[in-house]
């Protein structure tokens, strides 16, 4: 697993797409927080990081598929996937190495946003007048969201040989599981079931974490999503051996 992890990290950081993806993410978040008039905290009148945590997931929907789209698709296109199968490494280790590498890149892209936290912290009146527990919960939510989107992206890459198709499938699936259930729940056809339908969506549990409430059920929900998509990935790549 460690070998696969190092390979994925090295290959990603040696490609131009790594720096473009992370650069676009940071630029987009920076523009949202400081420039765009509808979301700029300079126009809010109070210190908050809400724009980052509200719109960050939607930026992740495009960033993480860009990170994961080459995971298996490129291996298939180059014919190196068969070489991986011949190595004394179990398929679970291959998947884990690729998943953790993708998640690590997503985490790396979040680290510079701590500068935004420091800036907003200094802008508070008095200095430090922030909802720190909510910010910590939101960062944990983004980390878990990055893990879920990475698992979805790895699965999308495992079922196609085309990186663009992988990106599109992954971005669509990430949006569907993040926002889709909430949208369906608003339809006036579910009655009392609407609340339970909304709970199937990732955004429901992400918003709960953003309030600073680290409930075990929300964390287990994220872990469940990750586990399901990694299992589907395992089934997808092992089916190619049959």
Residue range 17-67, pLDDT digits in tens: 777 878 888 888 888 777 777 777 777 666 678 778 888 899 899 989 988
Given this model, what pLDDT does residue 241 score? Answer: 57
Q: Roughly what angle, to the nearest 10 degrees, separates helices 16-34 and 50-68? A: 160
The better pLDDT of the pair 136, 83 is held by 136
**Cβ contact 76:161 at 8 Å:** yes
Given this model, what pLDDT does residue 85 score? Answer: 67
Q: Count other Cβ atoms within 10 Å, centred on residue 25.
A: 23
Write down the number of H helices and E strands in the chain.
13, 0
What is the residue whose two structure tokens read 């989107």?
149
Q: Answer yes or no: is pLDDT of 240 > 70.
A: no
Mean pLDDT across the chain, nearest whole number? 83
Measured distance CA(159)–CA(182) in Å, rounded: 27
Domain ranges of the chain: 2-239
Band of residue 128 on the pLDDT scale cut at 50, 70, 90: low
The total number of residues shown for the chain amounts to: 242
Q: What percent of the chain has pLDDT over 70?
A: 89
For residue range 26-40, what is the model confidence (pLDDT) as tens digits? 888 888 777 777 777
Measured distance CA(165)–CA(157) in Å, rounded: 8
Helices (H), 69-131: 73-78, 81-86, 91-110, 114-123
Measured distance CA(100)–CA(158) in Å, rounded: 15
Residue 107 C-beta-side C-alpha neighbours within 13 Å:
12
| Mean pLDDT in residue range 99-112 | 91
Measured distance CA(138)–CA(217) in Å, rounded: 16
For residue range 169-223, what is the model confidence (pLDDT) as tens digits? 999 999 999 988 887 777 777 777 777 788 888 988 898 888 777 788 899 999 9
Q: Answer yes or no: is pLDDT of 164 > 70.
A: yes
Given this model, what pLDDT does residue 50 score? Answer: 79
């Amino acid at each position: 697993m460690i070998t696969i992890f190092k390979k994925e990290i090295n290959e990603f950081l040696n490609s131009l797409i790594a720096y473009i993806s992370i650069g676009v993410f940071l630029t987009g978040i920076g523009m949202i927080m400081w420039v765009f008039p509808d979301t700029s905290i300079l126009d809010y009148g109070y210190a908050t990081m809400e724009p980052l945590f509200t719109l960050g997931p939607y930026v992740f929907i495009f960033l993480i598929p860009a990170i994961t789209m080459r995971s298996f698709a490129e291996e298939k296109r180059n014919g190196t996937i068969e070489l991986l199968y011949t190595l004394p490494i179990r398929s679970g280790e291959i998947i884990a190495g690729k998943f953790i590498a993708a998640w690590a890149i997503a985490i790396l892209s979040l680290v510079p946003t701590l500068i935004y936290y420091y800036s907003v912290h200094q802008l508070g009146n008095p200095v430090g007048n922030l909802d720190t527990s909510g910010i910590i919960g939101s960062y944990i939510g983004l980390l878990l969201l990055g893990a879920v989107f990475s698992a979805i992206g790895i699965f999308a890459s495992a079922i196609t040989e085309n990186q663009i198709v992988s990106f599109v499938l992954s971005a669509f699936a990430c949006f569907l599981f993040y926002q889709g259930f909430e949208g369906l729940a608003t339809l006036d056809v579910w009655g009392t079931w609407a609340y339970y339908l909304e709970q199937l969506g990732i955004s429901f549990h992400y918003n709960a974490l953003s309030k600073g409430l680290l409930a075990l059920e929300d964390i287990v929900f994220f872990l469940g999503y990750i586990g399901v998509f990694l299992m589907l990935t395992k089934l997808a790549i092992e089916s190619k051996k049959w």
